[in-house]
Homo-oligomer: A and B are copies of this chain.
Amino acid sequence: MHYTLGELAQRFGLELVGDASALIGGVCTLSPGHEGQIGFLANPRYRSTLGQTRASAVIVGRKDATALSGNGLVARDPYYAFAQVARLFDASKDFAPGIHPTAVVAVDAQIGEGVHVGPLAVIEGGAIVGAHSHVGPACFIGAGATLGAACRLEARVHLNAGVTLGERVQIQPGAVIGSRGFGNVMGPKGWEEVPQLGSVVIGNDVEIGANTTIDRGAIDDTVIGNGVRLDNLIMIAHNCRIGDHTAIAAMTGIAGSTRVGSRCMIGGAVGINGHIEIGDDVIILGRAMVTQSLPDKGVYGSGLPIAPAKDWRKTVARVRRLGKLEDRVRAVEQHVGIKGLEDNDDATDDAV
């Protein structure tokens, strides 16, 4: 499939620079770029590649428009415009409706119009699959689970009985939605199970990554808001609530009953304690250790970054003798007769 540069400009309301009849058949990176394809420039670091790219056109922001030496499209947000253009060339989600003969679909499951059910998928009794949804190979939809319209379960997705998805929810392979919450109580002979009677409710336009797990609630539901983006290998424990349009990068874990606000951006491999609250618009940098509530909007981080191992070992030793260093400073202060600030040596920190 090909589009002229003029067609693309018109379709997405972008400003055309150069040859309107240039044919675009795909997208490419700027360096080296491919003839017949279109690239984009969003990061000023790569500005110098503009002159050398083999791409037949480049999408740029307004401040880079004058740097264009060939054909281009000028956009307010070049990355957003690129995403729109790229979608024209993405056939990966096309599918033909129909139920594969090897799928195991309960007679009382409700399958909407235009739905695709792939090979070896299992859909149990009372489940509802909204119109134009795609249920990929080997997916499992438990009894009474509900999918809104135009959902896409890529492949081998597990939806436990009773789980509810809104519309246009996309889930990558291996994700498990509605596994048993980790509720245990010590009984006379060892751990006993606390039944997990809640479910998982997922809003509209949510994306969930590969091998991510979301546990069902203990009594009430675990809730994922509209427009949430979850990357791969994330753990959302029982009873959590994630606010609308929050994005979470891979390998982050959120312990039970924590609430995360709307429009948060949480980096990868962050660990968030249970029973706390993260406010709206909070940004948490990757690998942070979140032990306490963060009610206020802002950017947060933690952790000691990488160093050569011999420096790291010295740093660890120095941190361990910080108490002694404080003692030495106090001794010097007393010796010279100045009053030091209080160092609260015995105070523990409630937050950790």
Chain B residue contacts of A253, Cβ below 8 A: 233, 250-251, 268-269
Q: Are B323 and A303 in contact (CB under 8 A)?
A: no
Q: Are B102 and A351 in contact (CB under 8 A)?
A: no
The answer, yes or no, to whether A195 is at the interface (CB within 8 Å) is: yes
Contact A86/B122 with A229-B191, A316-B349, A338-B331 known, Cβ cut-off 8 Å: no
Q: Are B316 and A305 in contact (CB under 8 A)?
A: yes
Chain B residue contacts of A329, Cβ below 8 A: 325, 328-329, 332
Tell me the nearest residue of chain B to A317, going by C-beta: B349
Contact A232/B182 with A205-B190, A321-B343 known, Cβ cut-off 8 Å: yes
Q: Are B227 and A207 in contact (CB under 8 A)?
A: no
Q: Which of B315, B326, B333 contacts A320 (CB 8 A)?
A: B315
Q: Which of A3-11, A13-21, A61-69, A281-289 has 4 or more CB atoms under 8 Å from chain B?
A: A281-289
Q: Are A348 and B314 in contact (CB under 8 A)?
A: yes
Cα–Cα distance between A219 and B321 once the two chains are bound (Å) = 42
Chain B residue contacts of A235, Cβ below 8 A: 232-233, 250-251, 268
The answer, yes or no, to whether A47 is at the interface (CB within 8 Å) is: no
- CB proximity of A272 to chain B, nearest CB, Å: 9
Q: Are A86 and B328 in contact (CB under 8 A)?
A: no
Chain B residue contacts of A28, Cβ below 8 A: 219
The answer, yes or no, to whether A347 is at the interface (CB within 8 Å) is: yes
Chain B residue contacts of A26, Cβ below 8 A: 197
Q: Are B182 and A229 in contact (CB under 8 A)?
A: yes
Q: Are B306 and A286 in contact (CB under 8 A)?
A: no
Cα–Cα distance between A291 and B307 once the two chains are bound (Å) = 10
Q: Are A210 and B213 in contact (CB under 8 A)?
A: yes
Contact A312/B302 with A27-B197, A213-B211 known, Cβ cut-off 8 Å: yes
Bits for A73-94, please: 1 = Cβ < 8 Å to B, else 0: 0000101101100110110100
Q: A184-B207, A237-B250, A314-B346 are known contacts; what are 17 more A-B pairs with Cβ within 8 Å?
A: A79-B194, A83-B185, A104-B119, A120-B120, A191-B227, A213-B250, A249-B255, A250-B255, A288-B306, A289-B306, A290-B305, A300-B312, A305-B349, A307-B320, A315-B322, A317-B349, A319-B319
